[in-house]
Amino acid sequence: MKVSALLLAASMAAGWSSLAQAAGCQYDMQCKGDRICQQGQCVFPDAEEMAEAGGPVPVPAPAIKRTPMPPPPRGCCTVAGKLKLSPASASDTSLTIGDACQGLTNSGKPVPGTICN
């Protein structure tokens, strides 16, 4: 009885090791995207291989165009509406939207508010 159990365990171990080796890909359709199966591994094809196979040659991605930073906010939203910034607030370049500011009415009266565009 012990010998048959030992033989069963040995054959199961041999079967599991062959399954572990076969866990990779067997054909290209098992690989995601443009990758192909080579020697059980999904890899990206070389540009020369793609050209020889008649497939599309990978094109380098275009450079990302950077948009310029928007101008700093120049309005102060108050209970009286959107007002121009007071000279003290206008010269502070570190102000961002939502920061406290002083807006000036047409008559020059300062009104507290928050920075807005």
**What one-character-per-residue DSSP string does 6-30 give?**
HHHHHHHHHHHHHHHHTTS-SSGGG
Tally of domains within the chain: 2
Judgement on whether residues 83 and 50 belong to the same structural domain of the protein: no
Residue 48 is assigned to a structural domain of this protein: yes
Cβ atoms of 112 and 88 closer than 8 Å: no
- DSSP at 53: T
Residue 20 is assigned to a structural domain of this protein: no
Residue 63 is assigned to a structural domain of this protein: no
Judgement on whether residues 53 and 81 belong to the same structural domain of the protein: no
Residue 7 is assigned to a structural domain of this protein: no
Residue type at 70 in one-letter notation: P
> How much is the pLDDT for 113?
92
What digits encode the pLDDT tens for the residues 6-65? 666 666 766 554 444 456 888 888 998 888 888 888 998 875 565 566 655 556 667 777
Domain that holds residue 48: 25-57
Residue 15 is assigned to a structural domain of this protein: no
Judgement on whether residues 79 and 52 belong to the same structural domain of the protein: no
What digits encode the pLDDT tens for the residues 75-111? 889 988 889 888 877 777 787 888 888 888 888 888 9
Q: How far is CA 108 from the centre of its chain?
A: 48
Residue 62 is assigned to a structural domain of this protein: no
What are the beta bridge partners of residue 45? none
Judgement on whether residues 111 and 85 belong to the same structural domain of the protein: yes
Nearest-angstrom CA–CA distance, 103 and 81:
9
Residue 3 is assigned to a structural domain of this protein: no
